[in-house]
Structure 1
């Protein structure tokens, strides 16, 4: 079981109704869980603390974020990062200053996205730095309840200007989903993804070989999202509680 967080388990600092109970039902059914988030504004410790405050217990190894995937990638390729990320996330990349090469790492920098910061990243790319995108989401549901630009728009701008294609480390990268499944003792064909993003959560999971992907009508979901991307969701359900019922009924069949 792979669960998205923002828009599935919580909106902002508010738990989506029934989410904590649904997660407990999944745990009580002894289904292995991973929480897979494309958020690139909050460090891991803040995400876990937020979940704990909502009554949702999460072990460190149950949470996979693009920042964790990126630090592993940078170490593996001996690269030091040029960061274009939210200030809250910068500490996740400490200790990576000594790499033999450079890599531009782009996340949701929020207000830090401006011409100067984008141009610095562009110049690094032109000079030969690797190009790493933590995610390529188009939009996210912001604190005011409306959609806002997400990382993908700024990644696309740098890609267009530099002529360079990024390595994408968050959803919908197949490697991200495979990393989430590693250690779960669950073949991809038996795994289920639950998300509110028809493109990155759902279609991405199905393209990565997961057996099913459920789209919830919470978070960033908008009517007819299920018709906009291929592959289409295995099922569209109201929320995580309904997704849990779907999963447990399938497991019992």
Structure 2
């Protein structure tokens, strides 16, 4: 039986004027490039289309992310990678905020130090550093009325040994315990996608996003007016193809198939 492909729900240009690409689960899993992904990116490069790589990864600074992908054979450039960490730093600066940060130590140099007299809390994926003491400090600040900014609220991600819990569980727990609603900065927040479009100088309907996360990649992109192609790699689950409300513009096996579908 042939694999299902959803009919387009938005008009997919052939080819589009720009391509937005998720990283983990689309190009790679952990330290391993997914089969065919390196060659597919080379093919996409030859088309001349402008690219943006969008990632909610908040454990590693952007330079580390780029170096890791280059070691796998991917041709990425610093100006093409938009991370939730950099988006958060930009938002904090724009609003003149003085955050208390609960983030992974590896991004401390990129995001900056906590303020001793904070006016907000900023949460990233602290991984093993989500200790009770660290979370309780955040809890107490939120109970004092400070707003909560979360770099992302992803549920899980794919590592080489299987699915792993992501920071969304901690965001939800803090919201539940404090009655606070977090403002999400990375995907699926509409401004995150709109920033990429503005940098590229293209309209939403003239771009396309390739991702493995039905809600944060595809749903977020479509909310911003961007068609979305879902790949059956990374955090993709079979039930994603039967979701009641989010319908990808196309579902394909992997990144190589997504590039082929663009007819570039």
Does TM, scored on the shorter chain, surpass 0.5?
A: yes
Task: Identify the residue that residue 78 of structure 1 maps to in structure 2.
Answer: 96
In 2, Cα distance between equivalents of 1:96 and 1:124: 13
The Cα shift of 1:95 comes to 6.4
Spell out the pairing of 1:77-226 with structure 2 (5 A cutoff).
77-94=95-112, 97=115, 101-145=118-162, 147-210=163-226, 212-226=227-241
Identify the structure with bigger relative contact order (alpha carbons < 8 Å, sequence gap 6+): 2
Task: Identify the residue that residue 68 of structure 2 maps to in structure 1.
Answer: 50
In 2, Cα distance between equivalents of 1:32 and 1:155: 34
In 2, Cα distance between equivalents of 1:183 and 1:72: 14
In 2, Cα distance between equivalents of 1:188 and 1:197: 19
Q: Secondary structure of the equivalent of 2:228?
A: strand
In 2, Cα distance between equivalents of 1:84 and 1:229: 35
The Cα shift of 1:15 comes to 0.5
In 2, Cα distance between equivalents of 1:239 and 1:19: 8
Q: Secondary structure of the equivalent of 1:170?
A: coil
Gaps of 5+ in 1: none
The Cα shift of 1:143 comes to 3.6
Q: Does 1:243 align with 2:258?
A: yes
Encode CA deviations 1:6-56: one digit per residue, 9 max, x unaligned: 000010000111112111211211111000001111111110101111222
Alpha carbons 1:203, 1:229 under 8 Å: kept: no
In 2, Cα distance between equivalents of 1:33 and 1:50: 18
Alpha carbons 1:8, 1:16 under 8 Å: kept: yes
Runs of 4+ in structure 1 displaced over 4 angstroms? 95-98
Alpha carbons 1:75, 1:96 under 8 Å: kept: no
Alpha carbons 2:229, 2:249 under 8 Å: kept: yes
CA RMSD of aligned residues (A): 1.6
C-alpha distance 41-229 of structure 1, shift in aligned 2 (>3 A): farther
Task: Identify the residue that residue 33 of structure 2 maps to in structure 1.
Answer: 15
Alpha carbons 2:100, 2:115 under 8 Å: kept: no
Alpha carbons 1:105, 1:131 under 8 Å: kept: yes
Q: Secondary structure of the equivalent of 2:66?
A: helix
Q: TM-score, normalised by structure 2?
A: 0.88
Alpha carbons 1:207, 1:231 under 8 Å: kept: no
